[in-house]
Amino acid sequence: MSYDLVVIGQGYVGLPVSQYAAMSGLSVVGLELNRETVENLNKGISHIGDISDSELSEMLAAGYRASSDAEVLSAARTIVICVPTPLGDAGSPDLSAVESAVRSLAPRLSPGALVVLESTTYPGTTDDIVLPIIEAAGKSLDSDFFLAFSPERIDPGNEKYGLKNTPKVVGGVSAESTRRAVDFYSRFVDTVVPVKGAREAETAKLLENTYRHINIALVNEMAKFCHELDIDLWDVIDAAKTKPFGFQAFYPGPGVGGHCIPIDPNYLSYQVRKQLKYPFRFVELAEEINNSMPGYIVRRVQELLNVDSRSLRGSSILLLGVTYKANVADQRESPATEIAEILERGGAEVRYHDPFVSKWEYANTSLISETDYDQAVKKADVVILLQAHTEYDVDALAATSIRFFDTRGGARGAGAHRL
């Protein structure tokens, strides 16, 4: 038996790839090391917020299945790698999962198989790491196998753009690899954009997120001095975005979260330092500014407490929304974690509410979401809106709070203090 596609990794990136491919009629196997995840997927139980149990059931009915057996790789016409690429302890890219996946597939490749890396990484990974591992297994490019990079562009919780209608960038390590990768993705993605090579595709992904990282840092820095100058930055942004050209609105917040913004620009910065021996100063400055926001948020909370002649120690602080993004359950790299840790070190009593997170664990702390958050809002010395989930009526909450600190700019009433 052969499969049109085996997707290595069934997380936030890999499972949507499996979904769209399976629903387009391709025979798909999701290869996942976590046996419990495999069992649940095959039972129709999804662990990804953007894919419901009913949608997973449709995938299974279309022929999709999950497996933890690497031997399925030997029957795949195309293999897409969607494994995590976190930063290591020293801040350098950790490609161990990518390398492990490639070493597993290299000796198992069927003749003419296409391999595509989707995991975000630094420029040159596909050419300099993935290709040599496969060639070391005795395979020849453009005869035994084909190889490309295609950056994932999954935006969790986005109801307008999904994998199908978001243009797919593809760059192969050879012209024929690019052509075959374009043909593959065109089977279930509306628009496929071929680029010069794998390095260009890798760098395109990093440019996208570095652009966001730097512009978020810009408005975060402005938020600090606009507060000191008594300027309403949110009103400033609303005014600036009326210009129909030359400006794109970015907004300040308590920090950056998710897998992409806090991590991806560091891959580019790492490669520049490694190969060119000088810093990517924009990225490093943006990281410094964005990483300073949790501490700044706590200082603003202390200022509010001082107005009421209270100290941080012993005060009750309620956090609203602890996910990294509104209306999703994803907590990866959420700045709420660092804010809570700083508050606790200062002696505050931290509570939280989030409609998407019933139990929140960070450091050595485990908290349960407040069941009656309306009452919790009234009792807290300071309420901090960290994530503007649509469930929250921000102005109503601000009106019933002792002190309401809005880090997302949603409050318009006089009772709120905005970032």
Residue 109 per-residue DSSP state: P
Which pLDDT value is given to residue 167?
Answer: 97
Active site residues: 260
Token pair in block for residue 30: 């999701």
Q: In angstroms, rounded to a whole number, what is the distance separating the alpha carbons of residues 379 and 183? A: 59
Which pLDDT value is given to residue 265?
Answer: 76
Burial 213-222 (b: 16+ CB within 10 A, else e): bbebbebbbb
Q: Which domains, ranges and CATH numbers included, belong to the chain? A: 3-196 (3.40.50.720), 212-418 (3.40.50.720)
Token pair in block for residue 100: 């492990």
Token pair in block for residue 265: 């620009």
Helices and strands, counts by H and E, the chain: 14, 15
Which pLDDT value is given to residue 179?
Answer: 98
- How buried is 24 (Cβ within 10 angstroms: 0-12 exposed, 13-18 middle, 19+ buried)? middle
Is residue 171 within 8 Å of 196, Cβ to Cβ? Answer: yes
Q: What sign for the dihedral angle of Cα 380, 231, 333, 338?
A: negative
Which pLDDT value is given to residue 91?
Answer: 67
Beta strand 359-362 with 365-368: parallel, antiparallel or unpaired?
A: antiparallel
Is residue 15 within 8 Å of 48, Cβ to Cβ? Answer: yes
**Sheet strands (E) in 159-291:** 168-172, 192-194
Residue with tokens 């991806």: 264
Residue 342 backbone dihedrals phi, psi, to 5 degrees: -65, -40
Is residue 194 within 8 Å of 170, Cβ to Cβ? Answer: yes
Average pLDDT of the residues in 229-242: 96
pTM confidence score: 0.90
- Amino acid symbol at 119: S
- Amino acid symbol at 345: R
Element (H, E) at 30: strand 28-31
- The terminus-to-terminus CA distance of the chain in angstroms comes to 58
Q: How confident is the model at residue 294 (pLDDT cuts 50, 70, 90)?
A: very high
Q: How confident is the model at residue 176 (pLDDT cuts 50, 70, 90)?
A: very high
Q: CB-based contacts of 236: which residues, under 8 Å, 6+ apart? A: 222, 226
Q: CB-based contacts of 72: which residues, under 8 Å, 6+ apart? A: 3, 6, 29, 31
68 has which bridge partners? none
Which pLDDT value is given to residue 56?
Answer: 96
**Over 90: is that where the pLDDT of 262 sits?**
no
Residue 367 per-residue DSSP state: E
**Over 80: is that where the pLDDT of 126 sits?**
yes
Which pLDDT value is given to residue 284?
Answer: 87
Q: Tell me what the pLDDT averaged over the chain comes to.
A: 93
Is residue 241 within 8 Å of 249, Cβ to Cβ? Answer: yes
Q: In angstroms, rounded to a whole number, what is the distance separating the alpha carbons of residues 397 and 374? A: 8
Residue 146 backbone dihedrals phi, psi, to 5 degrees: -135, 150
Which pLDDT value is given to residue 408?
Answer: 95
How large is the greatest C-alpha to C-alpha distance in the chain, in angstroms? 75
Q: How confident is the model at residue 257 (pLDDT cuts 50, 70, 90)?
A: confident
Q: In angstroms, rounded to a whole number, what is the distance separating the alpha carbons of residues 128 and 9? A: 22
**Over 80: is that where the pLDDT of 241 sits?**
yes
Q: In angstroms, rounded to a whole number, what is the distance separating the alpha carbons of residues 197 and 204? A: 11
318 has which bridge partners? 351, 383
Q: How far is CA 356 from CA 36, 69, 157, 324, 385, in A?
A: 22, 33, 12, 11, 15
Residue with tokens 């390398």: 99
